[in-house]
Each structure stands twice: as structure tokens, then as C-alpha cells.
Structure 1
Amino acid sequence: MKNLISFLFVSLIASSLVAGQQHRIDSLLKVLPKVENEQRVDLLNELAFQYSLISASDAERFVSEASSAAQASSYKKGLAESLKIQGILHYVRNEYSVAVEYCYQALKLYEELNDMSGKAKVLNNLSMIFTRQNQFDKARDFSLESLKLKRSIGDSLGVVNSLLSLAEYYRNTRDFTKALDYCNEALDRLKILKNTWATGNAYSSIADIYADQEEYSKASLYYKDAIRYARLSNDHMQVVAANNKLGQLFLNSEQFDSAYYYLHTAIALARQKSSRSQEMEGLKFLSVYFERMGQLDSALYFTRQVSALERVIFENERREQIATIQMLYDYQQKEQELGFQRKIVKRQYIAIGGVSLILVLSVLLGFKFYGLNKTNHLAKEALMKLNIEINKMNENLEMKVKERTEEIALQNQKLVEYAFFTAHEVRGPLARILGLVELARIKELSDDREEILERLQEAAQELDEIIRIINRKLESSRSK
């Protein structure tokens, strides 16, 4: 009867946890058909993250679709987020080697994108994975690197997660004082941030530290606080883990009734959420419980259940690993194909750039030749005009030369006429004057001197008239 009441109580808790988470998922599913391309990838990743808290199979379905869509559209940020979520899912299933591979791929993409926030989150996830594998030095190095990045970009919640990872490192190295210091610093920050999910993790970390020190009463109080905050944030896996730890805690402190209650609660929730690893852990402690109670048949029954579940988990992990390897191979093939296509596209861009440059140079040369041709045409027109003007000048010059030649010829003719006129007209009177002068010298003709003087005067007047005529002719020629 007591067991029946416990299972009914667990079912009631599980129903209340699903309700709040389902509301958020329903709102995302309504939006999903309305978005495309990168927005759709981001929404699928968000759905995968939400389902990771309640249904690993649904989470895998959404994150696989997001990963394929991101690769098809070469959306690196969306692909990095998908790889990060896949790493978390494999971490929850305790498939640490596969989880590390996904984280490293996500980290590489975030580094290419220079996304410090995404890089810091993946580094923190790697710290958690290596802590689970007891590789504490690696875990510490990743935590410190993550913490440094988160402080530099002002990621307060990320700083809290890194502080809790460092606390986990110091817990595993048995330095409980430092571990508690980091946890308390994280809690102080969470009081300001009011983040219920991270607060649940912080309380669970503190409970682990007190449990390692066998301070069971303090540990149980912090585990119960962790469960309370995990319910508020709908983190079902944290609820299951905290119940398992409480069951183990009460088993170690020999509070068997409380151990049975919490172990059954953890097993029921793990089965409901298909968390086989958490279910197997609960079954192991339940087998120990019945062994200590002296109920060996029940202990054997649960031991066989653990063995059967281990086989199922092993087979599922093997199938998932094969699928993961195939997916990684396909991813690498696609990356190689994309790289080859990028080279082809790059060459095409170079060729297009070269052709474009040639075309631009051709256009520029065309404009240059057009300008030169236009200049030549204008020069030719100017030269033709100049030739016409020169021809006109030559014609005018020829006319002037002709006119001048005619004028000179006319003047020459006049000079000839003048010379002829002078030679004939002037010589006559002059000869008479000279003759009359000679006559005047002769003594024997002294009686005829008056007549000679009269004749001499007439010849002089005739010569004067002729000279006047010559002057008039010269003046008339000048005026012409």
C-alpha cells in the first residue's frame, strides 16, 4: 500500500512538471510552420533544447532536423548550436566520447564565427564531460578558459555555470573548502539573476560536497532545495538525479524508508522521461536497498533488471554510435563537397572579376578613343576651316597681286607715256630754247635780239605749260 501511494505521488509530480514545459513547447510549435531558413533552424534548436528536459527522443528529432537544415543553408551559427545540443544529449545519456566529439565540432564553428558566448558555453560543457570522466585537470582548464571568456563578455549566468564547474573540480580533488566557496559565490550571483534552473544546479552541487563529507543532514536539505528549484524550472533530469542522490544518501545513512521512497520516485520519473541511465542508477541502489533489508529475491530481481537495462542501453548506444559515425562521415563528406564548391565559386568569382575588369577597361578605352576621335574630328573641322580661310586669303592675295600688278603695269604704261611725252613734248620747246640761246650769243645777230627774246619767252611758256600738263597727269594717277 505504501509503495502504491509513493508511485501515485510521483505520477502527480511528473504531471505538474510536464504542464509548464509543454506550454512553452506548444507556443514554439505554433510558430514553427510560419518561419523559414535561419529562423526555422533557430526555432528547431530551441525546441530541441526544451525537449532535452522532458524527452530525449523528441529532442534528438528536432536537433537532427535543425542540423540538416543548417548544413543545407550553410548557416554556421545554427549548425554550431545544433552540435552543442547534440553534445548535451549524449552527455545526459553518459555517452561521453560522442558528446566530446560534438562539442569539439561546435567549438570549431564558434571560433570561426568569433562567437565568444557560444565558445564559452561549449568550453563549460566540455568541463562537465571531462569531470564525469574523472579527467579533472582538463575539466579545470576548460572551466577557467570558459570563466575568463564569460567575464570578458559580461555573461553573468555563464559565469555562474563556470563557477559551478570549478566547484565540481575542487570537489573531485577533495578540496571541499574551495568547492563550497565557488558554489556560494555562484549562489550570491543567482540571487540577483533569479534563475531557478541554475539555482537548482548550485544547490545540487553544494549537496554533493556535503554528501562527500558524509554530512548527510545538510546534504539532504540541499538536495531537497535542488528538487524544488528543478521543478520550478521544469528540469526533469535534475529532479530524477536529485531523487536518486537522496535515495543513495538515505541508504548510506540507513534511513531505509526514505531511501525506498526517493529511489522509487527517481525510477518512476526516469521511466516516464525515457532516461534509461537514470533509471538504471535508481535500480542499482534499489537492489542494494533490498540486499540490506535481507530481501535477496527482490535484490536479485532488480539486479537482473539492471543487467537487462544495461544490455538495452549498450545496444542503443552502439546503434547511436554507428549512426553518429555515419552522420559525422556524411558531414565531413558534405564539408569536403562544400569546400570543393567554394573553390569552384571562388574561381568563378575570379574569372567574373577578370572579365568585368576587362569590360571596364574596354569601356574606358572606348570612351578614350571616342574622345580622341571627337577631338580629331574637331581638329579636322578646324583645319578645314583654316584651309578655307587660307584659300580665301590666297584668292584675295592673288586678286590683290593681280590688281597690284595691273596697277604697276598701268603705272609703267603711264611712265612710258610720260617718258614718251617728255621725250617728244618737252624736247621740242627745250630744243628751241637752246637754239635761241645760241643765236643770242652770236654778235652778228644783235639786232634780232628782241625777236629772239620774244621767241625764247614763247618757248619757255610752252615748256611751262607742258610741265603743268605732266603734273596734272601725275596727280590724277596718284588719286586713282
Structure 2
Amino acid sequence: MFMRLCLVLLFFILISYPLASHAQKESVAIRVDSLLNLSNQVRHHDVITAIASIELAQTLALEHHLYMHACRGYNQLGSLYLNIGFYTKSLEKFHKALALSREKSWMDLEAQALTNIGNVYYFEDSLRHALKYYEQSLSLSIRSHNKKLEARNLGNIGMVHSYLTNYTEAKQYLSHSLSLSRELKLMEGTCLNLLNLAGLYHLQNQQDSARYYYNNALELAEKLGFAQGKIYVQMGLAKVYGKLNNNSEANKLLKDALSLSKQETANNATKEILTQLGELEARNGNFKQALVYQREYSKLSDSLSTLAQHTEQQNYYSLLEAERNINENRLLKANVAARELELQASMANHQKQLALTFAAVFAVIMLICIMAFLLYHYRQSKKNHDSLQHMHAAIQAQAKELEEAYEKIRQHNIQLEGSIEERTRQLNQQNRQLIQYAFFNAHKVRGPLARILGLVNLLPKAAHQTEFQFILDRLNESANELDKVVHEINLILESKPVSQDNYN
């Protein structure tokens, strides 16, 4: 029993350690999620804080082997770099996400990374490369039944085909993406597909159809509060109005889009809007204003370069600070080592005492459980014993009754055997009487009876009285003889009467 308790205790300890480790990992996962959410909240007005939050989340995720969170962090950080125009850094993060997702066989995250890499090549105008990654992502999203990503990839492929002047394929992919987005009720995806279809009609110089789809997309973006979609719709509508020579409306739309893109820190869109505004003002002959937009474009590009340099410089200073801290730590190690050893010994002793206390408490609980089980087992055994005794007494009473019944049956069998012997004897005697009766009937009764019958036949033939009298005398003699025989038979039968009661 003691060995069994020890084994149970050991099993409980072995289970408790992984549970504690899992609880710690869950706590770190919650912290990583909170950092990633913080990055999403501040990305539009504080890019530096957003990047720092994601990098800290990445460090924690990799230290505690939370690889799925790390993969999400790579994708999120790459998207942030892509939004501010740092294509090289964005591509680096997306490729890390792609490698990690392929190593862990996470098809959804792999497809997401492929789509993001395609987006980088799209913004760099490497449309062939973008198309290759979009098609790979589409294949994976279909295999993993990720309908949302499938709709997104269909739209991206259609958009690339439209810029490659493959208008038939572009319309096919965009229409399919639009129907799938509506089926899944992906409102932002529906807005983007309407935007891309409008851009396709604009490239085909079908300005009325383009304006129709742009207006539908703008209405949906305003309804959803989809700022990024609204920016690109306004840019597209400005191109349409530019083609229709309605420069004032185009200028108004571009200025609204510029204001909104600055609020959202959408640097790629801002640079494209500034380029469009400069071209529009140049067509209108307003070269001074066009130059203002060109300078603002250059200023934004310089600020992005400065931001990149600032980020690199910050990383350099961080490395210098880390090196200085390492040198200081080397000086403090000698003083800290002893304290660490003392703390480790104290922690080990504390853990040992805690383990012993826990084992003692667990042993007491197990002992109480065992005693309760034994008490329950004893009560059940006593109850079963009383029940068996009661059944034994009932069986003994039944056995006694069976013995009495057996004795009665045995006496009755003896009586029946005597009755059978007596009845057999009577039947044998009756049989002898019947044989004797048959003898009389065959030999003594038959003779007189035959003579009587013969004489009766002769009576009508008697010619004289003498013959008639002679026949009567002979009849009388035969009748007397028959009567005598019958009397003898009755005497035989009456000497050993066989009554009906003997048969019963």
C-alpha cells in the first residue's frame, strides 16, 4: 500500500510540473498578444512605438517557443514596414514568417506570408514576381479551405492582370473575388474588389463603368469607416475625372484623400497622391503649385529616409548601450555570484520544504481517502454478510421442508407399491376366473345349447305325438343341463367377486 501511495504521489508531481510550465507559457502568450494589439492601436500615429512593441513581442515569443505568435509578429511587423514604404525590411520580415510557417507546416500562415510578399513586389512594380506569390498563396488557401484569404488572393491576381493588360483574366478573377467576398460577407474585401473592378474599367477607358464602381466602393467605404479603402477610391475617382477633363472635381478628391492619408500615416498612398496632384496642377498650367507638391513629396521621402536612419541609429545606440551594460555586468558578477548561490540554495531549500509539505498533505489526503474507502468496504462487507446469513437460514428452512416433503412422498410411494401388488394379485385371480369361465362357455354351455337349438328345429317336423313328446323330453333335459352349467358358472364367479372399487 505504501509503495502504491508513493507511485501516486510521484505521478501527481510529474503532472504538476508540465501544468505549471503550461501556465507560464499561457501568461507569456497573453502578454505577447497585448503587445501586438498595442502595436495595431498606435501604428497610425506612433510608428516607432508600434515597431518597438512588435519587436518586444517577437523576443518574448521566441524565448518561450511561442512560434505561432512569432510568425504573426513577423507578418505584422512586415505590414507595418510596408505601410511606411520600407520595402527591404518588410520583405525580410515576411520571408522570416514564410520560413517559420513552412517549418511548422502552418498552411494558413504560409499563405498569408506569400500574399504579403506579393504585396511588397506589387508596390515595387515587380508585377510578375507579385503574380507568382499571389498564385502560390491562392493554391495554399484553397487547399486549407481559407475562403477569406482565397477571395483576397483572387482580387490581388485580378489587379495584377489588369496592370499587365490581361483584361479578360483580370475581370474573371476580380468578379470571382467579388462574388466570394459578398458570399462571405467580407465588406472590406467587397469594397476593394469594387475598387479594383473600377480601376480595370478605367484602364480599358470605360469611364462611366469605372465611375459607377468607384461610387459604389466609396459609399461602402464610408459606411464601413474604411479609411484606407476610401483613400484609394478617391484616388481612382480623381483619375476618372481627370480623363473626363473635370480637373476641379479631381483636385478636390485628391486633396480629401491626401488629408485622410496623412491622418492614417499611409505613406505609400500619400506619395502617390502627391504625384497625382503635381501632375494635375502641371496639366492645368499651375506649375508653382505642382512644385509645392513635388517638394512635399521629396520632404516625405526624406523623412522616411530619416526615419529609417533614425531606426538604424537607435539600433546602433542600443548595441552600444548593451555593450556598456555587459562591461558593467562583468564587474558586478563577482559580487552577485555569491548572492546568487545563496539565493539558489535558499530557493532549493524552500522548494524542498514546499515539496515535502505538499507530499505530506497529499499523503494525509490519500490516507483519509483510503480509510474512508476501507470503512465503506467494511460496511458493505458486513451488510453482505448479514444478507448471506439471512439467505442461509432461509435455505436451511427450505431444505427442511424439502426433506419432510420427500419423506411424505416416500411413504406415499410405499403405499402405492402395496396397492399395486394387491391390484396385480386381484387381476391375476380375475384372469384365472375369466379363463375358467371361457372354458365352461366353450365346453359345457355350448353342448346343451347346441342340442336345444337342434331340437327346436326338429319340432315342426314331428309327425306323431310320440316324436313330439320325445323331442320335448330331450329339450327339457338339455335345458336342465344348461341351467346346471349356468349355476356352476355363477358359483365360480361368486366365489371371488371382482368389484368396481378394486379398479379405483
TM-score range, shorter chain: 0.5 to 0.7
**SS of equivalent to 2:205:** coil
Pick closer, same or farther for the CA change 1:322–1:296 going to 2, 3 Å. same
Q: 2:113 aligns with which of 104, 122, 132?
A: 122
C-alpha contact (below 8 Å) 2:85/2:267 kept by paired residues: no
C-alpha contact (below 8 Å) 1:244/1:263 kept by paired residues: yes
Q: Which residue of the partner structure matches residue 417 of structure 1?
A: none
Pick closer, same or farther for the CA change 1:325–1:236 going to 2, 3 Å. farther
Distance 2:260 2:83 in 1: 15
Q: Which residue of the partner structure matches residue 93 of structure 1?
A: 84
Q: Does 1:186 align with 2:191?
A: no
- Please list every run of 5 or more consecutive structure 1 residues that lacks an aligned counterpart in the other structure: 1-34, 329-480
Q: How does 1:2-41 map to 2 (within 5 A)?
A: 36-41=27-32
**How far off its partner does 1:207 sit?**
1.8
Q: Which residue of the partner structure matches residue 271 of structure 2?
A: 280
Q: 1:311 aligns with which of 302, 309, 316?
A: 302
Distance 1:208 1:86 in 2: 29
Distance 1:171 1:279 in 2: 23
Distance 1:221 1:55 in 2: 37
C-alpha contact (below 8 Å) 2:32/2:57 kept by paired residues: yes
Distance 1:179 1:77 in 2: 34
Deviations 1:198-237 (A, max 9, x none): 1122112112211222222222332233333334444322
Q: Which residue of the partner structure matches residue 103 of structure 2?
A: 112
Q: How does 1:372-387 map to 2 (within 5 A)?
A: none
Task: Calculate the aligned-residue CA RMSD, in Å.
Answer: 2.8
**How far off its partner does 1:47 sit?**
4.3
Q: 2:158 aligns with which of 164, 167, 182?
A: 167
C-alpha contact (below 8 Å) 2:134/2:153 kept by paired residues: yes
Q: Which amino acid aligns with 2:51?
A: E
C-alpha contact (below 8 Å) 2:155/2:196 kept by paired residues: yes
Q: Which residue of the partner structure matches residue 300 of structure 1?
A: 291
Q: Which residue of the partner structure matches residue 501 of structure 2?
A: none
Pick closer, same or farther for the CA change 1:258–1:178 going to 2, 3 Å. same
Distance 2:161 2:136 in 1: 16
Q: Which residue of the partner structure matches residue 71 of structure 2?
A: 80
Pick closer, same or farther for the CA change 1:301–1:105 going to 2, 3 Å. same
Distance 1:214 1:54 in 2: 38
Q: 1:265 aligns with which of 256, 259, 262?
A: 256
Pick closer, same or farther for the CA change 1:107–1:232 going to 2, 3 Å. farther
Distance 2:35 2:232 in 1: 27
Pick closer, same or farther for the CA change 1:142–1:236 going to 2, 3 Å. same
Q: Which amino acid aligns with 1:72?
A: E
Q: Which amino acid aligns with 2:125?
A: N
Q: Once the two structures are aligned, what percentage of the paired residues are identical?
A: 20
Q: Which amino acid aligns with 2:78?
A: G
Q: How does 1:313-462 map to 2 (within 5 A)?
A: 313-320=304-311
Q: Which residue of the partner structure matches residue 133 of structure 2?
A: 142
Pick closer, same or farther for the CA change 1:230–1:318 going to 2, 3 Å. farther
Distance 2:289 2:176 in 1: 44
Distance 1:181 1:231 in 2: 27
Deviations 1:279-306 (A, max 9, x none): 2322222222322223333223222222
**How far off its partner does 1:326 sit?**
9.8
Distance 1:323 1:179 in 2: 44
Q: Which amino acid aligns with 1:126?
A: I
**SS of equivalent to 1:36:** helix
C-alpha contact (below 8 Å) 2:29/2:61 kept by paired residues: yes
Q: 2:195 aligns with which of 172, 181, 204?
A: 204
Q: Does 1:240 align with 2:231?
A: yes
Q: Does 1:70 align with 2:70?
A: no
**How far off its partner does 1:110 sit?**
1.1
C-alpha contact (below 8 Å) 2:238/2:250 kept by paired residues: yes
**How far off its partner does 1:240 sit?**
1.9
Distance 1:49 1:196 in 2: 20
C-alpha contact (below 8 Å) 2:44/2:265 kept by paired residues: no
Pick closer, same or farther for the CA change 1:296–1:169 going to 2, 3 Å. closer
Q: Which amino acid aligns with 2:68?
A: K
Distance 1:320 1:114 in 2: 33
**How far off its partner does 1:254 sit?**
1.6
C-alpha contact (below 8 Å) 1:201/1:226 kept by paired residues: yes
Pick closer, same or farther for the CA change 1:214–1:118 going to 2, 3 Å. same
**How far off its partner does 1:265 sit?**
0.3
Distance 2:59 2:222 in 1: 33
Distance 1:275 1:303 in 2: 18
Q: Which amino acid aligns with 2:248?
A: D
- Give the TM-score normalised by structure 2: 0.54
Distance 2:239 2:41 in 1: 28
C-alpha contact (below 8 Å) 1:123/1:143 kept by paired residues: yes
Q: 1:131 aligns with which of 116, 122, 126?
A: 122
**How far off its partner does 1:111 sit?**
1.5
Pick closer, same or farther for the CA change 1:327–1:96 going to 2, 3 Å. farther
**How far off its partner does 1:42 sit?**
2.6
Q: Which amino acid aligns with 1:124?
A: T
Distance 1:38 1:72 in 2: 11
Q: Which residue of the partner structure matches residue 156 of structure 1?
A: 147
> How many equivalent pairs are there?
295
Deviations 1:73-125 (A, max 9, x none): 23111111011011112222232222111100011111222211111111111
C-alpha contact (below 8 Å) 2:84/2:265 kept by paired residues: no
**How far off its partner does 1:173 sit?**
2.0
C-alpha contact (below 8 Å) 1:55/1:274 kept by paired residues: no
C-alpha contact (below 8 Å) 1:53/1:237 kept by paired residues: no
Q: Point out the more displaced range, 123-132 or 177-186.
A: 123-132
- Give the TM-score normalised by structure 1: 0.56
